Amino acid sequence: MSGAVLVLGATSAIARGCAAAFAARGHALYLAGRNGEELKRLAADLQIRYGVRVETGRLDALAVKAHGKFIDQVIAVMGDLTGVVSALGDLGDPDHDARDPLAVVHAIDVNFTGVASLLTHCSNYLEQQGRGFIIGITSVAGDRGRQSNYPYGAAKGGLSLFLQGLRNRLYASGVRVVTIKPGFVDTAMTYGMPGLFLVADPQVVGRRIARAVEGRADVFYVPWFWRYILLIIRAIPEALFKRLKL
């Protein structure tokens, strides 16, 4: 592989792991996120460690009308774009959000609407180019609605379906679309949350995500055992599932 990779939501722990993995493979990077200063620190670190070109740009996932101009700017700066990794997302406050209509809308906008807008702009470019890849990071929370985080899970489940359709659309053009469903990962989003188990290292997860581009599967659970955990959870009959405290 070669060419520049755009990382959306680049300051998250999983995105950092992905950026390092792609930099180690010699890819130039464009890091996008809300925190401009943190993006610059991350870019400097990657440039020193891997000797690759790294550019940065501030991005507001909710400013959908500005997304087209932003992607045009990325392409103009990098001169080319081979792949996109979307690590955008916000777990929010699960205990509060489910009872606040505005918080529910915010969860859907941040985790689905903004991502869908950005990936549509990227997919139009890659489809015209006739090559490249899109990696969309959703969540195992999107596989079944649970009382503990269903606004977030609903948005991630919608994103998984969006990526499935995008994969169907772009297959003939040679653009690969991969869906990543992480389980619990040691990130700022999950720090201090009770009841977590089998928590994965974000650097390990990032390397696995980067390798997914070279595999044949379209959907990856990371770590792998979450596929089987969710297989069991999805198989529980609704009549029983609604009585569980999950």
The secondary structure of residue 36, as a DSSP letter, is H
Give the pLDDT confidence score for residue 133 in this predicted structure.
Answer: 96
> Taking the model in full, what pTM does it have?
0.90
Mean predicted lDDT score pLDDT of the chain:
90
**111 pLDDT above the threshold of 90:** yes
The 10s digit of each residue's pLDDT in 73-110 is: 999 999 989 999 999 988 888 778 788 999 999 999 99
The 10s digit of each residue's pLDDT in 125-145 is: 999 999 999 999 999 999 999
**Residues in CB range of 6: below 8 A, 6 or more apart:** 29, 30, 32, 74, 78, 81, 83, 84, 85, 122
Structure tokens at 117: 């807008």
The 10s digit of each residue's pLDDT in 192-238 is: 555 555 567 778 888 888 888 888 899 999 888 889 999 999 999 99
